[in-house]
Amino acid sequence: MMNIFMDAAAHLKNPSVLSAEKKGCKIVGYTCSFMPGELFHAAGMLPYRMRGIDTQSMEIGDAYYGPYICTFPKCILQLAGEGRFSFLDGLVLTPGCDAMRRLDECWRKAGEDYKGIVPSFFHYFDVPHKIENHGMNWFVEEIKRLIASVESHFKVTISEDALKESIRIYNKGRRLLQQLEQMRTVDNPPISGTQAFAVAVAGTVMDREGYNRLLENLIDELKGKTGAKNGKKRLMVVGSISDDISLIHLIEDCDAIVVNENLCFGVRHETDEVSETGDPVNALAQRYLANSVCPRMFGNYKQRLSILKEKIETAKVDGVILQNVRFCDLHGSENGLFERDLEASGTPCLRLEREYGPLVETGRVEMRIDAFLERIA
């Protein structure tokens, strides 16, 4: 069972994607956790979170982006130029940050030189940076605009009842992930950080019903079990976007165990459920925008710090690795604040700047982690 999660997390294609292709089910990629996957699920499609794993070259990404920018969108553009996302029937791009905003224009421009890489459905989904009333109203309208575009392009209907059912299914997955997170808080967790992170990442690229069934079976299998007593330092990984399970594996290879993450591809966006009563569009807007766990959201640093401190206490964390992809202004800046405030409250921190995914400098990262573990020994 774990192999299914690991495979989905480690490769661009997984059985859900292959099955969708075989059945003629539309697959729509999206770039940000602020995009409600329930919309495409309600339309009978497979929502697929975009990733840059398996990148071997940066020739195309560098040509359209230049060298001094986050490598995550560059890796996605590289794979797009190579035709690795040919299975997508559509794409929704979101301005999670300015580098991701530019992915819209860079992908369109690259499409002039690499024919066929721009899906016929190519939608820009804007997200406000504040949750005040005007921002929430704006976000509601953006969701309605996306629904109208999907219905028009794919000749489908996203009904209120279908949305409510999709919300119910997604909420079930969120509750299951929280059960799995609770299992990681014990002294000897029955699941490694690498495995738990793979489970979370897999949920962004698998069909939700199948994912829920597998996750439910995994939790039943782990109930009542504890891992081997090891005495390893309990670490938490925080910061900018990471969907690469090898990063968590690298940390755990340094004789530590990752018992919690606060990453864009982890469970931090799965803590709050969508209301299952009232208007489903408003419920989606309230849940996705008000969940301000990303530094792109203005004025909510204290809330994000409080969430970290609560997780540190619950999971009995010994130290925090504050990682960010090079040139990530949002997380790079906020990690500095986290380091100041967490160290002041007695939690050792390691700030780690790195390249995204397969471009991680393994030796340097290992050396930094080893030194950090000696510090908190």
Domain assignments of the chain as residue spans, ordered by start? 11-160
On whether the CB atoms of residues 83 and 116 are closer than 8 A, the answer is yes
| Third-level CATH fold of 11-160 | Rossmann fold (3.40.50)
The encoded tokens of residue 370 equal: 């080893």
Q: Six-digit token pair at 185?
A: 């808080």
Please report the pLDDT score of residue 50 as a whole number.
96
pLDDT of residue 121: 98
CA distance linking residue 374 with residue 377, whole number of Å? 5
pLDDT at 265: 86
Residue 268 pLDDT: 81
Coil, strand or helix: which one is 347? Answer: coil
Distance in angstroms (rounded) separating the CA atoms of residues 218 and 201:
15
Half-sphere exposure of 295 (CA within 13 A, CB side): 21
- Considering the entire predicted model, what is its pTM? 0.95
Could you list the beta-strand ranges (E) of the chain: 27-30, 46-49, 90-93, 121-124, 233-239, 256-262, 319-325, 349-354
For 194-238, the pLDDT digits (tens) are 999 999 999 999 999 999 999 999 999 999 888 878 889 999 999
Strand order in the sheet with 121-124: 46-49, 27-30, 90-93, 121-124
Q: Which neighbouring-strand residues pair with 92?
A: 30, 123
What is the percentage of the chain residues whose pLDDT exceeds 90? Answer: 82
- pLDDT tens for 49-104 read 999 998 888 999 999 998 889 999 999 999 999 999 999 999 999 999 999 999 99
Nearest C-alpha neighbor of 154 from the set 125, 120, 124: 120
Distance CA 213, CA 1 (A): 11
215 burial (CB, 10 Å; 0-12 / 13-18 / 19+) is buried
Q: Using 50, 70 and 90 to split pLDDT, how confident is the model at 358?
A: low
- Give the confidence band of 266 by pLDDT, cuts at 50, 70, 90: confident
Judged by average pLDDT, the poorest of 206-220, 221-235, 306-320, 356-370 is 356-370
- Residue 205 has which token pair? 């690229």
Instruction: Give residue 183's pLDDT.
Output: 95
pLDDT band at 360 (very low <50, low <70, confident <90, very high): low
Question: What distance lies between CA 84 and its chain's CA centroid?
Answer: 20
Residue 226's pLDDT is 84
Shortest CA distance to 49 belongs to which of 57, 41, 61? Answer: 41
SS3 283: helix
7-32 pLDDT tens trace: 999 999 999 999 999 999 999 999 99
Which residue type sits at 78?
Answer: Q
Residue 262 has a CB neighbour count (10 Å cut-off) of: 20
Residue 124 to residue 91: CA distance in whole angstroms: 9
Percent of the chain scoring above 70 in pLDDT: 99
Q: In the predicted model, what is the mean pLDDT of the chain? A: 93
Residue 357 has pLDDT above 70, yes or no: no
What tens digit of pLDDT does each residue of 131-190 get?
Answer: 888 999 999 999 999 999 999 999 999 999 999 999 999 999 999 999 999 999 999 999
Best CA proximity match to 241, nearest among 51, 56, 42: 51
| First-last CA distance in the chain | 35
